[in-house]
Structure 1
Amino acid sequence: MKKLMMTFGGICLVIVALLGLQWGLMVSRNQQSSGKDTLTFYNWGDYIDPSILTDFTKETGYKVNYQTFDSNEAMYTKIQQGGTNFDLAVPSDYMVAKLKDAGLLAKLDKKQLTGMNNLNPQFLNQSFDRGNQYSIPYFWGTLGILYNKKEVNGSELTNWSALWSAKYRNQVLLVDSARDILGMTLISQGKSVNDQNVADLAAAQGKLSSLMPNVKAIVGDELKLYMAQGEGSLAVTYSGEAKNAMERNPDLAYTVPEDGSNLWLDNLVIPKSAEHKQAAYALMNYLNRPDVAAKNAQYIGYATANKAAYERLPKSVQNDKAFYPKQSVLDRLQVYQNFDQHWTQLYNDAFLEFKLGKS
C-alpha cells in the first residue's frame, strides 16, 4: 500500500509538472504574440522621423518594432522566407509588383484606410499596382544629375546626352545600377526605360560604352560623400541622395534632364503574413495625416506623395524645382516595370560588360 501511495504521489507530481509546462508554454506563446500591441515596421534605414513613432505610440497605444533593410532585394528575400512576420513594409515600385505576383502581399481593405484624398493623384494608380489595391505611396523622387556649380554650367544639362560632352572627361560619377544607367541612356535615344527590344538594348549599350572616357567611377552609397567632398564634377544619382550631398556642400545642385527620367515611388504595404494588421492600418493612416506627413518630409528631405502635406511645407521647399519638378518634367518621368528574369539578366549583363570596360 505504501508503494502504491508513493507511485500515486509520483504520478500526481508528473501531472502537476506537465500542467505547469503546458501553462508555461501558453504564457510564452501569449507573450510572444501579445505583440498584439506591437507591430513590426520594415523600412529603409533612417527613412522616418523617430519622433513620429514615439508620438504614434502615445496616441494609439501601439508599440513599433522598427527593423531596416538596405535593398529591395534583401527585403523581398526576408519577407519570402517568412522568418519574421512583418506588419508593414516599404518596397519601391517594381518590388511592389514582384511581391504581389509572388502572393506575398495582403490586399488592402480600403474601408480601414483614411486620408486617401490627401494623396497626390499623380502618384496613384501606377502600373505596378493599378487601383492601389496593395500599396499606397510614401515618398517619391527622381533620377537626375548632381553637379558642382563652380565647375559645371547647369543650364547645359538640359538632356542626358550632355554627359557625353568631351569637356567632362574623367569627371562623371555613376550610381551602380543597371536599370538606372541603361535607362538614362535609353531615354537619351528616345526610348523607354522599360524597353524590351534586343536591338534597342544593344544600341543603348553601344552608346553607354562611349561614355566611359568621361566616367571617373561607378559607385554605390558612397557617391553622395564623394560629391560632397568635391571628388567629382557631375554624378548620376537619386534626388534623395543628391539632397543629402547638397546639405554637406552648398556648391552642389541637382537637375532632372528635360528629356525625361525615372520616377521612383516607395510605398507602404502589408505583407500577407502580417499578424497585426489592425496596428498596421493604424500606422498607415497616421503617416498619411497631413501634419505627420509634412513633419516626416521635413526630416527625411525626400518629396512627399501627400499633397495636403506638401501644402504645409515651407515655400522654399515647395518651390524647389529640383525636388518638386514642374509638371512638364513630371509628365516625362517613367516608372520602372518589374522585368522577368530573362530581361533582368539581359540588362545586368549589358551593364556588367560596360563596367568591365572601366576595370
Structure 2
Amino acid sequence: MKRLISLTVGILVVVLGLAIWSQQLQQSQGATGDKVLNLANWGDYIDPSLVKKFEKQSGYHVNLETFDSNEAMFTKIQQGGTSYDLTVPSEYMIEKMRKANLLVPLDHSKLTGLNNYGARYMNQPFDPGNKYSIPYFWGTLGIVYNDKFIKPGEVKHWDDLWHTKYRDQIMLIDSARDILGFSLVSLGKSMNTTDAPTLQAAKGKLDQLAPNVKAIVADEIKMYMIENEAPLAVDWSGEASEMLAGNSHLHYVVPSEGSNLWFDSLVIPKTAKHYKAIYAFLNFMSQPKNAAQNAEYVGYATPNNKAKALLPKAVRNDRQFYPDAQTMSHLQTYEDLSPKTVGLYNDLFLEFKMYRK
C-alpha cells in the first residue's frame, strides 16, 4: 500500500512537472501569458537592445519569431496556428491580408506617434488612411555599381544596363516582380500591369539583356558585389546599404524614370490577443529616438521624419537611400495581383532564366 501511495505521489509529481514545463514552453513560444507581446518579424529586422528597452520600460516580455517570406507568414496566420500580436508584412501582402480578413483595424485613438511619420509614407494605395498599418521601413529597387569599373554617372537609367559593353557584368536579384518590373518601367509601363502582351514585351526586352547578365542570385549577391566579383547589380536598397557598408567602391542609384517603392509595415493580425502590449509597442517604436536607433541598426530608410532628423547628417542627406522628391514621384508600390497574373510573371521570369542559359 505504501508502495502504491508512493508510486501515485510520484506520478502526480511527474504530471505536475510536465504541466509546468508545458506552460513554460508555451510562453516561450508566445502562446500564453498576459504580460507578453508576440511579434513576428523578418530576421535581424529590429535592434535587440530596443526590445530589451521596451521590456524594461513596459513590463511586457517580447516573444520574437522570424519569417523569411511574406507568403510563409501569411500561410501561418491564415491556418490559425499562431498567436501573433503584431507582424511586419510588405505592401502587397498587407492588401492581400486585408482582402482575406486577416487583419484587425488600428484604433487610432490609442496611437500617440502618427504625426511623426512623413505624409509621403502614409495613406498608400495598399492601405488608404492607414486603417490597418503603420510604416516600419521603406526602400526602393535600384542599381548598384562599382566605381573601380564604372564611372560615376555612367549608369543612371534602366536602359543603360542594355549597353553591349556590360556583357556578362550584371548581377540580378532572383525576383520575378522586380526584374520584370524594371523592364516594364524601361518600356514606360506600369510595374503592376496585368496585360499579357505588355508582359511578353517586357520579357522580350529582358531576353535582349541576357548576354549582359552574369548571374541571377539571392542573398549571395551581397557577397559577390562586396568582393568586386561584378561591376553592376540590381537589388533592393536595404541590401544595397549592406553592400556599401562592406565596400567603399560601391554606390546605389534609383533611376529617375521610375522604380519600385516598397514598404514593410506593422499590422495587427486576427490572431492578436494582447492589445495593451500591442499599442504600448506601436507607440514605443513611433518615438523618434527609438525609430532612429532602429534605423541605424537595420540600415534601412525610416518613414519617421522626426527620427530621420536625429540620424547623422551624412545618412539623412544621402540621396541614394532618401531620393529627392522628383524621383520619389515616379516610384510605384506593388499591388496584390491575382494568382493567375502572379503565375504569368513567374512563368515569364523562368523562361528568361532558361533563355539566358
Q: Same fold (TM over 0.5)?
A: yes
For 1:50, the aligned partner's letter is P
Unaligned stretches of 5+ residues in structure 1: 1-13
Which residue is equivalent to 1:295? Answer: 293
1:102 Cα shift? Answer: 0.9
TM-score by length of 2: 0.92
One-letter amino acid of the counterpart of residue 111, structure 1: S
Q: Deviations over 1:305-338 (max 9, x none)?
A: 0011011111111111000011111011100001
TM value normalised by structure 1: 0.91
Aligned equivalents of 1:358 and 1:226: distance in 2?
A: 20
SS of the counterpart of 1:282? helix
Cα offsets for 1:160-201 (capped at 9, x unmatched):
000000010000000000000000000001111011112211
- Quick check: 27-36 or 153-162, which moved more? 27-36
Percent identity (aligned): 53
Contact kept, 8 Å, 1:145 with 1:237, in 2: the verdict is: yes
Count of paired positions: 345
Determine which of 143, 146, 160 is the counterpart of 2:144: 146
1:229-264 per-residue CA deviation (whole Å, 9 max, x = no partner) reads 111110000001011011111111100011110000
226, 250, 270: which one pairs with 2:224? 226
Contact 1:158-1:259 at 8 Å conserved across structures: no
- The secondary structure found in structure 1 opposite 2:268 is coil
Q: What does 1:1-359 correspond to in 2, within 5 Å?
A: 34-359=32-357
Unmatched runs of 5 consecutive residues or more in structure 2: 1-7
Distance (Å, rounded) in 2 between the aligned partners of 1:236 and 1:40: 35
CA distance in 2, matches of 1:304, 1:28: 40
The Cα of 1:158 is off from its aligned counterpart by 2.1
Q: Deviations over 1:260-302 (max 9, x none)?
A: 1000000000111112122111111111100100111111110
Query: CA separation in 2, counterparts of 1:27 and 1:221?
Result: 38
Structure 2 counterpart of 1:48, one-letter code = I
Query: Measured at CA, do residues 214 and 40 of structure 1 come closer, stay the same or move farther in structure 2, by a change above 3 Å?
Result: same
Aligned partners of 1:90 and 1:267 also within 8 Å: yes
SS in 1 for 2:72: helix
Whichever residue aligns with residue 237 of structure 1, its letter is D
Q: Equivalents in 1 of 2:22, 2:69: separation in Å?
A: 33
In 2, Cα distance between equivalents of 1:290 and 1:267: 16
Classify 1:34/1:175 alpha carbon distance in 2 versus 1 (closer, same or farther; 3 Å). Answer: closer
Q: CA deviation at 1:27?
A: 11
Paired residue for 1:5?
none
Residue range with higher mean Cα deviation, 257-266 or 275-284: 275-284
Q: Once the 2 structures are TM-superposed, how far is the Cα of residue 347 of structure 1 from its aligned partner?
A: 0.6
Q: 1:198 and 1:291, CA in 2 relative to 1: closer, same or farther beyond 3 A?
A: same
Cα distance between partner residues in 2 of 1:271 and 1:193: 28
After the TM superposition, list the runs of 4 or more consecutive aligned residues in structure 1 that deviate by more than 3 angstroms.
24-34
CA contact (8 A) 1:270 1:277 kept: no
Q: Distance in 1 between matches of 2:97 and 2:237?
A: 25
**Matches of 1:157 and 1:261 in 2, distance apart?**
15
CA pair 34-206 structure 1, distance change in 2 beyond 3 A? closer
Instruction: Give deviations 1:27-84, integer Å, cap 9, x for gaps.
Output: 9779856521111110011101100000001100011011111111111112112222
Instruction: Provide the C-alpha distance between the structure 2 equivalents of 1:191 and 1:265, rounded to a whole number of angstroms.
Output: 21
- Matches of 2:23 and 2:156, distance apart in 1: 60
* Partner SS, residue 91 of structure 1: coil
- For 2:201, the aligned partner's letter is A
Other structure's SS at 1:154 match: coil
In 2, Cα distance between equivalents of 1:236 and 1:276:
41
SS in 2 for 1:308: helix
RMSD (Å) for aligned C-alpha atoms? 2.3
CA distance in 1, matches of 2:23, 2:231: 57
